[in-house]
Chains A and B, each alone.
Chain A
Amino acid sequence: MVGAFQDEAGRLTLGNLDALTSDAAVTALKGSLILSASTALIGAVLGALLAYLIVSMSPQSLMRRATLAVSGVLAQFGGVVLAFAWIATIGPVGVVTKAIMDLTGANLYGSGWLFGLPGLVVVYCYFQIPLMVIVFAPAFEGLRPQWREAAVNLGASTWDYWRHVALPLLTPAFLGALLLLFANAFAAYATAAVLVSQGQPIVPLLIRQAITSEVLLGQANVGFALALEMIVVVTVVMVAYNLLLRRTSRWMR
């Protein structure tokens, strides 16, 4: 953080923060926000549906235990390995790309979408959805059967129960998980670093360029300023997450 307020010679300056308003920095921030928000939303919705299906199964169900275990693994399955897995699957000479090409003549790889922002969205969902499952399943489990039975007994239909009881109870947990997924995607680096070789569409890649570029020398402190920008965004998100979590845990006591 200190480096964000120093120049190359170590003197105090606010000049690095000016760099945050440059076109490249604003574009990268926009890219990061779009990537994080879209994968958080997709991951949260699909993950919540999957979590509901899993929690609806018997606790002894093999499918339930297996899905939760696999989700636990896949939620951590980011980085270089994940990027190569996708390249090997739907990259220019990926297994699925070639199979579809042979079968239908269609080019799944197209103009190289996998190596840009759309590709990152798809690949990030691979760990965002499982993360949502393991984060959100306990919220579904926290819905007590007595609440449904009490609602039904008082005249509520299934829709009434979801509208007036279950959804309001799940909303803070859902929003909290959404924020967690946002922060998770916002801070991810390795997968994007392997997939994206042209341009710096997101902040972590711009930081890499600032720190390691052999063309643009003396940009390390700008990199620190960009990192500070990320810390501020993630801090705001985590504070909101904790507020929501506190509210949910009070209800679920």
Chain B
Amino acid sequence: MTEQTVDRGLAVELSDLTRVYGDVKALDGLTLHIVPGELVALLGPSGCGKTTALRILAGLDHATSGTVSVGGKDLTKVPASKRDMGMVFQAYSLFPHMTVIDNVAFGLKMRGRDGAARRTRAGDMLDLVGLGEHADRYAHQLSGGQQQRVALARALAIEPSVLLLDEPLSALDAKVRVQLRDEIRRVQIEVGTTTLFVTHDQEEALAVADRVGVMNAGRLEQLAPPAELYSAPASRFVGEFVGLSNRLPAEVRDGVAAVMGREVPVLPGSATGSGHALVRPESVSVVADPAGPATVTTVMFLGPLSRVTCTLADGTLVVAQLASSDALRLQPGDAVRLEVAPAPVLVVA
């Protein structure tokens, strides 16, 4: 987060939010504090409540209980049209009968700004997202990525107190998704608006966010910077949902876990006694050894890195991520020895 962003954004506070639909509890006591200018990504599987949280913040849904405040002002009962928030939807939210510039200027029109001021501001926003040349086109004349950039410009044109992004990249193809993801981050840093980004794509969340909140069954399991979330998951769900993990038998004693014959420190919240350590593939090394207890099953080339799957004598599968130069020396059927790096692990029962 830059100093510039802190100056221009507002703090967002979701306190003990609960949302119940019939028998289903979509949100179960969600509390989230976003500091001014920060970009927080809510990450989780479908139905975990992340979109519900965003819609409640936007005012498009209401909480069964709990409060929403922005910049210290309670907005819980304020209608969506008065919340002063910009939102980018998954897809197809541009008004199809309006040109690009009219779309971007729509929010300003609703605020009673005169025509010239609207066009100037909308033009500036289009320049910001690199679409100044497309002002007079219609939505159907733009690609999916361009449409989402226009939607971003439209959301920012009203100078919102908070920017809400509801899976804005999910309908785009992989290459455009990465480009737009970087563009969103660049623009967000430039304008400094406090932002909540909802996604089910962990790579996306880890790449753009200052902090990532992992949600499960309506609850926030962990909220942490991306690197911390990855290296120190607070729960079994986070450890298994974010990134790839091996579940290896472990024995915990005095804060140390014995995993595949090696002692490694354990993370807070780990189980004691017998359990399973969640070990990242990059923490496993594979050494060719004719007397080794494991056998290479597959070698998957992924560019500079490769993924090697090995089988232990008891049938346990272990995935290791190695430099391709090392991995490509291995062949399926080779006998190998596996070693676990001494990085802290989470041990679950």
Contact = CB atoms under 8 A, between A and B. Distances in A.
A202 B87 CA distance: 56
Contacts of B94: 150
Interface string B151-165: 100110010000000
Given A157-B81, A250-B140, A251-B96, A152 B89 contact: no
9 contacts: A144-B93, A146-B93, A147-B93, A150-B89, A150-B94, A153-B58, A154-B81, A154-B106, A155-B158
Interface of B: 58-60, 79-87, 89-97, 106-107, 109-111, 140, 151, 154-155, 158
Given A164-B106, A250-B140, A251-B140, A153 B87 contact: yes
Taking residues whose C-beta sits less than 8 angstroms from the other chain, chain A's interface range is: 20 to 34
Nearest to A144: B92
Contacts of A155: 81-82, 84, 107, 110-111, 158
Contact of B110 (A146, A156, A251): A156
Contacts of A151: 95, 106, 110
Q: Which 4 A-B pairs give the minimum distances between C-beta atoms?
A: A154-B107, A155-B110, A146-B93, A251-B96
A253 interface: yes
A251 B111 contact: no
Given A153-B59, A154-B81, 10 more contacts: A153-B87, A154-B86, A154-B106, A155-B82, A156-B81, A157-B81, A165-B95, A251-B96, A251-B140, A253-B96
Contacts of A149: 58, 60, 80, 87, 89, 93
Contacts of A150: 87, 89, 93-95, 151, 154
B95 A147 contact: yes
A155 B85 CA distance: 9
B89 A146 contact: yes
A169 B80 contact: no
Given A152-B81, A252-B96, A160 B110 contact: yes
Most-contacted residue by chain B among A155, A157, A164, A250 (CB, 10 A): A155
Contact of A251 (B60, B80, B85, B97): B97
Nearest to A149: B60
A157 B109 CA distance: 12
Interface in A194-252: 250-252
Contacts of B86: 153-154
Contacts of B158: 154-155
A146 B92 contact: yes
Contacts of B106: 151, 154, 156, 164
A59 interface: no
Nearest to A142: B96
A252 B94 CA distance: 11
A168 interface: yes
Contacts of B81: 152-157
Nearest to B95: A165
B97 A168 contact: yes
Contacts of A153: 58-60, 80-81, 83, 85-87, 155
A253 B139 CA distance: 10
A154 B107 CA distance: 5
Interface in A13-42: none
Given A152-B60, A250-B140, A169 B85 contact: no
A201 B154 CA distance: 56
Contacts of B140: 250-251, 253
B166 to A, nearest CB: 9
A42 B87 CA distance: 40
A151 B109 CA distance: 11
Nearest to A250: B140
B237 to A, nearest CB: 30
